[in-house]
Amino acid sequence: MVSQHRPLSLHGGDSTGPSKILIHAINYAPELIGCGKYTSELARFLQQRGHTVEVVTAPPHYPGWVIQRPYRAYKYMTETIDKIAVTRCPMVMKKNGGGAWRLLAPLTFAILAAPMVIWRALRFHPDVIMCVEPTLVSAPAVLLAAKLSRSKSVLHVQDLEVDAAFGIGHLRGAWFKQAIMAVERRLLLRFNKIITISANMRTALISKGLDSEKIEVVRNWVDLDTIKPRLSRSGHGFRDELGCRDDDFVVLYAGHIGPKQALNVVLDAACRLVDQKKLIFVIVGDGPMKNSLQKTYADLTNVIYLPLQDECRLNDLLSIADLHVLPQMKGAADLVMPSKLGGMLASGRPIVITAEPGSELANVLEDIALIVPAGDSAALSDAILRARVEDLSLRVERGLELAELLSSRVLLPSFETHLLGRGAERQATHQWKGISQQDTTVGKDKSQTKSAAQARQHPDPF
């Protein structure tokens, strides 16, 4: 099977010479959101830079935890996507399954994929083998394959899944947590390099006993050639399809619908604002919580649900928003950095987030987003009404400047450098607005913001 995706625009950074790279990840194209999106874009970037890339992954299943056709759950298969050899390995899952199923699916994938990872490493002779977390249960196979093939092992931490699982209640028990954390630490210590997506996640990894010198931060990126501000509302396909008038105020959430996203808070706010004329909530996406939320809030007349949209319509989708809403479960803001943030910023629309004071997300977006406490639907509804009447253009402008720092033009070459470890001089601090890897304190001078031209001068801005 051969599939082709739109090439990711490439700018900047000279190649350090071709390498062989084997990527092991549970999520990959054609998945449209989450970790699969970033792993796929990284693989395409590396292949376009002249490296040889292979991927061992699962059948596409995210975010609904159901296998997408024509793929099959219980069959090994190979295909070529964007000139990259992709091997699919079986996994056991249940549609939108929770509880034990959320543990069984990645565990069966890791077990059934392990022989393939080792075999491909011995046949392919990669220079680097990269494992993507989630899921960390795939790490033992990667470490063994790297040892047998004498390859460099790299872990890309998109999600501190062990911390998050205990934090949101998927896993419980003090003794069990201690045992799992000990196993996690032993695995983490064995990787040659770890790349994560936020400064606070890096700090959490160091607190587990890891050497700070081998942990790098490369934020999740946004393709600014794909996501651009759209100023005009006239002739907007999505708004027309939804029956929205030009004077309707649209509050948009687009992404995964799971426990961590706490969409119930957004829908509780919609309940509070149901009598507000010309105020519409649009929820786009899929996930294990979608069906139950739709049933619980079935009486709401100001909420529209849409399925995941194709990548070619993403810019149009994001531009229907008069306000983006980014909710998160309390305590999750420093365990999982929302991958959808870059697109929100690049769309040139105001944003309201739920985050606790002092969290990295709140610090980074202090002068950009309206911020309300996690779980507080009353505060969220007040912020939505505030956004409806206030001029938030300065916050939007600052958001566009931050989007420049998160551009794939900047961050993908940085990822390549850290992944391959060639000619990379470690920068002791990675700064933007006073944020560094070691210190996430935000500078308090709100009278000035960096221009996009200044932003481009920082190759690894955080």
For 115-135, the DSSP string reads HHHHHHHHHH--SEEEEEES-
Query: Where along the chain do its domains lie?
Result: 2-217, 237-403
- Identify the band that residue 447 occupies on the pLDDT scale cut at 50, 70 and 90: very low
Which comes out higher in pLDDT, residue 288 or 60?
60
Q: Do domains 2-217 and 237-403 have the same CATH topology?
A: yes
pLDDT top residue among 26 and 244: 26
Q: What is the pLDDT of residues 5-26, one digit of tens each?
A: 444 444 333 445 799 999 999 9
Distance CA 140, CA 61 (A): 23
Nearest-angstrom CA–CA distance, 422 and 244: 52
Q: What angle do CA 143, 146, 150 make, to 5 degrees?
A: 145
pLDDT tier for residue 232 given thresholds of 50, 70 and 90: low
Q: In this predicted structure, what is the pLDDT of residue 4?
A: 46
In Å, how far are 10, 218, 349, 433 from 451, measured between CA atoms? 22, 21, 18, 12
Tens digits of per-residue pLDDT, 109-125? 999 999 999 999 999 99
If pLDDT is split at 50, 70 and 90, which confidence band does 127 have?
A: very high
Fold of 237-403: Rossmann fold (3.40.50)
152 within 8 A of 424, measured Cβ to Cβ: no
pLDDT score for 124: 96
Q: What is the mean pLDDT of residues 286-301?
A: 93
Share of the chain above pLDDT 70, in %: 83
CATH code matching the domain that covers 2-217, chosen among 3.20.20.60, 3.40.190.170, 3.40.50.2000, 3.30.450.40: 3.40.50.2000
Strands (E), 73-151: 77-81, 84-88, 128-133
- Rounded Cα distance between 444 and 368, Å, is 13
Residues for the chain: how many in total? 462
Residue 249, pLDDT > 80, answer yes
**Tens of pLDDT along 166-203?**
876 777 788 988 999 999 999 999 999 999 999 989 99
State pTM to two decimals. 0.85
pLDDT tens digits, one per residue of 385-443: 999 999 999 999 999 999 999 999 999 999 999 999 854 333 322 333 333 333 333 33
Q: CA-to-CA distance for 126 and 52, rounded, in angstroms?
A: 9
Task: Tell me the pLDDT of the chain averaged across its residues.
Answer: 85
Q: Which residues lie closer than 8 Å to 56 by C-beta, 6 or more apart?
A: 22, 23, 24, 25, 87, 89, 113, 116, 117, 120
How far is the first Cα of the chain from the last one, in angstroms, to the nearest whole number?
40
Structural tokens at position 378 = 């009353």
